[in-house]
């Protein structure tokens, strides 16, 4: 983004350092706002759908972690090895609903005249607030204030405070709080319903609902209860039960005078068969929600805020002098913290988190490449370890996946997309060709051990995975008599605007590096954990001399395409046969090109979707001089359209690395405000959760210049002109450090733990209390 483009960027949402604020209701932006204002707590989440009826365009979405539907694959031409299904995240039963009726008129912001509309996401305390005045066709005016949160302290609980005040009339107001299992997904291959409602009804003061996903058999139990207040005092409404197919709730009628305020508190418990026995879901959900209701809304909220306060204490990044940049990074961190808490090693992070249906809510290589660094530095090591264990638990499935494609002898190809270890992506150029994902999984093991020093993980789980990955690479390469080198043919690299290419530099690099690192890991475990080594040898039927010998031959003789006259690594064979046009030659009306060009035209173009060669240089930057990094950056960045959310962050980090700080700043704004400013015109489908880890990386690894070298933390920071100061905390080997970077100095404060040696701008210091450089 050029400075001139930056000036023209319109902020639809008000810039505020701790809040996302929408002033005025514009139905044209409603689905975008449903994504932006989403809430989650690790166990579940939902889009910012209205509680009251809304007949306008809306993407309804309530999602529960770990639950999926195997939507049968839909392709025009079936190929051997295709997965049988694509794992979709089901839109789960709706618990937030509160319909409002006044006489024969229903509150609906699509038909009422709306004024004084404000929607606010408070990121510091983790809640959604909304207020407005609705004018009905009869002329009656109703003021509404709604506040809701998903408890971070009790993650099966959601709570809503919904207050209404008639401004110019008196009469009866009817509230209809409900649970609704009659939900659909927009993203379905065959327009199927994903849920069967098993039971729905009312028991005393509780409405309940139980539903089961078709095919996959997950069950959920919902229960709700309510309380009502009139001008702050308890009031008993005229109550009727509502029970119909897939729907349960209450009709609550209260007489009210103009200027009075009625407040409805709605509490809901959402339980799943991942944690509870299916036959106990209804009764347990009633117990859980009634316990929560006894605590009352404010107590639940206080406990919830306390968790957010703790989260921000170790994950916040403070920027002085740039509110838009500050809002951007906090929005990203907020979404990461509410999407994944690390409590359950069965869970992972989908590209959309709890904010939309696209990509199926499944696990991609994004986790290893872009999210693990965030959780390593902001959470205890067990959180990142659980993400590695998730892959280890799926190792046998990865071996089976490779076998479907013709590989053997324990070779593993991890899926591009998965919920349970099985491949479920149904585009051939991704499923069969984007094999670099194996490299990301190996690199994550290395990255975790480099950061934590936890070498025991290799002996426990990591080495088994590495051996299986290396066996895959051994079988996937072939010897080229023409080149006199090993080659890897028919792949798709990180740049998905290229398919079925030969010798993608990044893929070849990752393959060779994985083989080398696996040999190092084998030697370490053999020497330091001999009993575990014997266990692994027996389990994997590993032959040390034969297998490592063939790996070493590949390492020594791997082919890497080069553009010798420019001194850059070539993205793949034949890349220079394309017409060499730069991204800034594209007309604004053509961008993003994936929404305006045919796929044929994209594939024939030079344009790069996301960092490819530069992704590899980022991973292995210690192997390259600054001059090599600069040559490759200057060659590839102008050809990159950044139409993957994962692209700007890597470019920002490398721009900092070569001293292009203002370029790094422009790219940082793009990654941090990607969704807030809807750069790629697709935020209505959901947020780009996994790229938000990359935003954090662009701050801490990019501007903070943080690296791990020989077990030591090092910092070579840069600040863009607009920033006066940045400050952040990191966790590192049982220590918590505060790093503050200003125009004049960099300080490192030891907040918790034993003193340690760090390097700042090339100078070693002992970090004890406060150190400056």
Run of H or E including 101:
strand 98-102
For 730, the token pair is: 């990191």
pLDDT at residue 245 tops 90 = yes
Which of 79-88, 458-467, 574-583, 763-772 is the least confident region? 763-772
Please classify residue 190 by burial: count the beta carbons closer than 10 Å to its beta carbon, then call 0-12 exposed, 13-18 middle and 19+ buried.
exposed
Q: Collapsing DSSP states into helix, strand and coil, what is residue 452?
A: helix
Q: Per-residue pLDDT averaged across 383-388, rounded?
A: 96
Distance CA 219, CA 570 (A): 50
Structure confidence at residue 440 as a pLDDT band (50, 70, 90): very high
- Residue 528 DSSP symbol: H
pLDDT at 544 exceeding the cut of 60: yes
Are the C-beta atoms of residues 438 and 500 closer than 8 Å to each other?
no
**Greatest alpha-carbon span in the chain:** 89
Question: What pLDDT sits at residue 769?
Answer: 62
In the block, residue with structure tokens 């838009």:
324
Q: Is 630 left (phi over 0), alpha (psi -120 to 50) or beta?
A: alpha
387, pLDDT greater than 80: yes
Give the ranges where 316-394 is alpha helix by DSSP (H): 323-339, 366, 372-378, 381-393
Bridge partner residues of 161 (DSSP): 147, 265
pLDDT for the residue 395: 98
Cα 721 to Cα 159, 320, 519, 648, 739, distances in angstroms? 43, 11, 45, 19, 19
Given a cut of 70, whether residue 12 has pLDDT beyond it is yes
Distances (CA, A) of 416 to 190, 420, 474, 579, 768: 22, 12, 19, 30, 44
pLDDT at 773: 46
> Who contacts 668 (Cβ-Cβ below 8 Å, separation ≥6)?
325, 648, 649, 652, 695, 698, 699, 702, 703, 720
Place of tokens 């591009």: 416
Stretch 549-572: mean pLDDT, rounded? 97
Task: Please check whether residue 64 is in contact with residue 272, taking contact to mean a CB–CB distance below 8 angstroms.
Answer: yes
Confidence of residue 3 (pLDDT cuts 50, 70, 90): very low
Asked whether residue 336 carries a pLDDT value surpassing 90, the answer given is: yes
pLDDT at 84: 87
Q: Is the pLDDT of residue 201 over 90?
A: yes
* Nearest by Cα to 27 from 59, 58, 61, 62: 58
Average pLDDT for 341-359: 92
pLDDT band at 361 (very low <50, low <70, confident <90, very high): low
Pull the structure tokens for residue 689.
């959760």
Residue 290 scores a pLDDT above 80? yes
Q: Is 432 helix (H, G, I), strand (E, B) or coil?
A: coil
pLDDT in tens, 85-139: 889 999 999 999 999 999 989 999 999 999 999 999 999 999 999 999 999 999 9
Averaged pLDDT for residues 587-613: 96
Confidence (pLDDT) at 428: 77
Active site residues: 496
Interval 342-362 mean pLDDT: 89
pLDDT, mean of residues 294-317: 98
**Cross-strand bridge partners of residue 142:** 134, 166
**Dist. CA 764–CA 157, nearest whole Å:** 49
Res 73: pLDDT: 84
Quick one: average pLDDT of 477-481?
98
Residues in the chain: 773
In the chain, the percentage of residues whose pLDDT exceeds 90 is 92
Name the residue among 330, 377, 375, 334 with its Cα closest to residue 729.
377
For residue 526, give every residue at least 6 positions away whose Cβ sits within 8 Å of its Cβ, in sequence order, or none.
533
4: confidence class by pLDDT, cuts 50, 70, 90:
very low
**pLDDT for the residue numbered 772:** 46
Among the listed residues 707, 704, 697, the one whose alpha carbon sits nearest the alpha carbon of residue 725: 704
Buried b (16+ CB within 10 A) or exposed e, 730-760: bbbeebebebbbbeeebbbbbeeeeebebbb
Using CA atoms in the order 47, 161, 105, 170, what is the torsion angle rounded to 10 degrees? -160
Query: pTM for this one?
Result: 0.96
- Which two tokens mark 607? 């344009």
What mean pLDDT is predicted for residues 502-522?
98
Structure tokens at 194: 């994903």
Categorize the per-residue pLDDT at 768 as very low, low, confident or very high, splitting at 50, 70 and 90.
Answer: confident
pLDDT band at 635 (very low <50, low <70, confident <90, very high): very high
CA distance 37 to 25: 14
* Segment 170-196, tens digit of pLDDT: 999 999 999 999 999 998 888 999 999
So what's the pLDDT on residue 448? 98
The partner residues of 39 in beta bridges, in order of sequence, read 46
**Taking CA 574 as the corner, what is the angle to CA 568 and CA 579, rounded to the nearest 5 degrees?**
90
Contact yes or no for 512/623 (Cβ under 8 A): no
Tens of pLDDT, residues 313-323: 999 999 999 99
pLDDT at 771: 47
Cβ-contact 101, 237 below 8 angstroms: no
Separate counts of helices (H) and strands (E) for the chain: 22, 33
pLDDT tops 60 at residue 7: no
At 653, phi and psi to the nearest 5?
-60, -45
Structure tokens at 595: 């929404």
pLDDT at site 10: 63
d(CA 459, CA 529): 7
Q: Is the pLDDT assigned to residue 244 strictly greater than 50?
A: yes
How much is the CA Rg of the chain, to the nearest whole Å? 27
User: Per residue in 706-761, pLDDT tens?
Assistant: 999 999 999 999 999 999 999 999 999 999 999 999 999 999 999 999 999 999 99
pLDDT at 1 over 80: no
Inter-residue contact 428 to 490 (CB < 8 Å)? no
């Amino acid at each position: 983004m050029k400075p001139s483009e930056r000036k023209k960027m319109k902020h639809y949402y008000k810039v505020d350092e701790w809040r996302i604020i929408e002033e005025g209701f514009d139905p044209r932006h409603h689905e975008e706002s449903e994504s932006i204002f989403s809430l989650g707590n690790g166990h579940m989440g939902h889009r910012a759908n209205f509680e009251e009826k809304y007949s306008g365009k809306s993407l309804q979405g309530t999602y529960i972690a770990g639950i999926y539907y195997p939507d049968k694959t839909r392709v025009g031409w079936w190929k051997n090895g295709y997965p049988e299904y694509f794992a979709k995240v089901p839109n789960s039963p709706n618990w937030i609903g509160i319909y409002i009726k006044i006489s024969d008129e229903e509150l609906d912001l699509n038909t009422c005249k709306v004024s004084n509309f404000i929607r606010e996401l408070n990121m510091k305390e983790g809640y959604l607030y909304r207020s407005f005045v609705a004018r009905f066709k009869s002329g009656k005016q109703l003021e509404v204030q709604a506040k809701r949160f998903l408890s971070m302290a009790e993650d099966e609980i959601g709570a809503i405070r919904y207050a209404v005040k008639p401004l110019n009339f008196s009469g009866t107001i009817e509230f209809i709080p409900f649970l609704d299992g009659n939900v659909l997904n927009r993203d379905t291959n065959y327009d199927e319903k994903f849920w069967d409602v098993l039971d729905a009804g009312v028991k005393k003061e509780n409405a309940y609902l139980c539903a089961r996903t078709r095919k996959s058999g997950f069950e959920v139990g919902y229960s709700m209860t309510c309380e009502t207040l009139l001008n702050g005092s308890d009031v008993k409404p005229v109550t009727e039960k509502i029970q119909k197919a897939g729907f349960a709730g209450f009709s609550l009628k209260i007489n009210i005078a103009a200027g009075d305020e009625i407040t409805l508190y709605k509490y809901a418990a959402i339980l799943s068969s991942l944690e509870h026995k299916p036959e106990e879901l209804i009764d347990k959900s009633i117990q859980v929600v009634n316990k929560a209701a006894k605590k009352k809304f404010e107590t639940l909220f206080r406990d919830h805020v306390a968790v957010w306060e703790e989260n921000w204490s170790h994950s916040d990044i403070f920027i002085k002098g740039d509110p838009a940049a500050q809002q951007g990074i906090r929005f990203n961190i907020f979404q990461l913290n509410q999407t994944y808490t690390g409590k359950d090693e069965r869970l992972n992070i989908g590209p959309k988190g709890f904010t939309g249906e696209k990509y199926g809510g499944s696990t991609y290589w994004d986790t290893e490449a872009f999210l693990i660094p965030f959780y390593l530095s902001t959470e205890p090591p067990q959180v990142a370890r659980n993400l590695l264990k998730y892959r280890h638990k799926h190792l046998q499935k990865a071996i089976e996946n490779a076998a479907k494609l013709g590989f053997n002898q324990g070779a593993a190809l991890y899926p591009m997309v998965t919920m349970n270890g099985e491949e479920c992506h149904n585009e051939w150029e991704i499923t069969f060709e984007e094999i670099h994902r194996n490299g990301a999984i190996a690199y994550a093991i290395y990255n975790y051990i480099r950061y934590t020093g936890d070498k025991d993980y290799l002996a426990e789980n990591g080495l088994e995975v590495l051996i299986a990955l290396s066996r895959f690479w051994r079988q996937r390469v072939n010897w080229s008599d023409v080149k006199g080198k090993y080659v890897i043919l028919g792949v798709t690299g990180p740049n998905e605007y290229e398919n079925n290419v030969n010798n993608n530099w990044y893929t070849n690099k990752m393959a060779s590096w994985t083989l080398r690192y696996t040999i190092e890991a084998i030697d370490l475990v053999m020497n330091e954990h001999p009993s575990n080594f014997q266990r692994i040898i027996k389990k994997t039927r590993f032959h040390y001399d034969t297998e490592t010998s063939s790996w070493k031959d590949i390492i020594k003789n791997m082919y890497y395409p080069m553009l010798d006259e420019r001194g850059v690594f070539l993205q793949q064979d034949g890349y220079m046969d394309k017409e060499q046009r730069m991204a800034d030659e594209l007309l604004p009306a053509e961008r993003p090109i994936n929404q305006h060009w045919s796929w044929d035209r994209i594939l024939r173009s030079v344009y790069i979707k996301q960092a490819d060669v530069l992704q590899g240089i980022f991973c292995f930057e210690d192997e390259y001089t600054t001059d090599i990094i600069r040559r490759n950056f200057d060659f590839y960045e102008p050809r990159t359209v950044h139409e993957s959310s994962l692209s700007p962050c890597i470019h920002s980090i490398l721009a900092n690395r070569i001293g292009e700080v203002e370029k790094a700043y422009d790219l940082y704004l793009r990654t941090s405000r990607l969704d807030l400013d809807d750069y790629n015109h697709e935020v209505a489908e959901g947020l780009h959760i996994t790229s938000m880890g990359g935003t954090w990386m662009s701050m801490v690894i990019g501007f903070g210049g943080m690296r791990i070298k020989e077990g030591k933390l090092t910092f070579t920071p840069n600040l863009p002109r607009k920033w006066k100061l940045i400050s952040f905390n990191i966790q590192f080997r049982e220590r918590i450090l505060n790093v503050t970077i200003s125009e004049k100095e960099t300080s490192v404060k030891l907040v918790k733990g034993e003193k340690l040696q760090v390097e700042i701008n090339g100078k070693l210091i002992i970090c004890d209390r406060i150190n400056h450089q």
